[in-house]
Chain A
């Protein structure tokens, strides 16, 4: 089945530094990738949608200069949290859509990245 690998699973960084999170589709080409943010005991909130080779589309209220998204290939998207602050601490989850007609071009989610900014 479709597999999405997300790394790292956990990261702790100092306030003011940047952190990069990778999302890879291992056995299919992802036409579209999505990045979500989830606070404790809350739902997933979509941050941005990205298509390979084009600029990401950010949801209202999400700072594009703070959350940099690069979708360089059909199997890799990265999210960089720049100048991180404690309020950026959260669970970040990527999702990739692709596959083929058999898989109904479904959505596959990564295992998430727990970011803690100290």
Chain B
């Protein structure tokens, strides 16, 4: 099965600064790369995703970059705000199946 790792596991950032979380996966045939935000006691919410034919995608303060050769993709959050504090998961999907494999998670704390 797919092995997925995230780094760092915890990240504290001053409000207004940028945060970057990296996700490394093992299945070279993976073709869908989403990032989810999970707040305490709730289910994950999709914040941005990218497909294998695109290298970068941006949505306001959030961006995702994909390096298929190196098998990693990253979440970039700019101008961080206190409400960005949460746990973030990457969940790449392998080719030919519908299953998402969740990464180990990153707890992001924005310091006011």
| Chain A positions near chain B (C-beta within 8 angstroms) | 4, 6, 32, 34, 36, 42-46, 49, 93, 95, 97, 106-112, 114
Contacts and interface: CB of A to CB of B under 8 A. Distances in A.
Secondary structure at chain A's binding surface: helix, strand, loop or mixed?
strand
A4 B46 CA distance: 13
A46 B99 contact: yes
Interface string B91-112: 1000000111111110000000
Contacts of B99: 34, 46, 49
Contacts of A97: 98
Interface string B34-76: 1010000111111001000000000000000000000000000
A110 B34 contact: no
A52 to B, nearest CB: 13
7 contacts: A43-B89, A43-B102, A44-B91, A107-B46, A108-B46, A109-B36, A111-B43
Contacts of B41: 112, 114
Contacts of B44: 44, 93, 109
B98 to A, nearest CB: 5
Question: Top 3 closest A-B pairs, CB basis?
Answer: A109-B43, A44-B102, A43-B102
A43 B46 CA distance: 15
Contacts of A46: 99-102
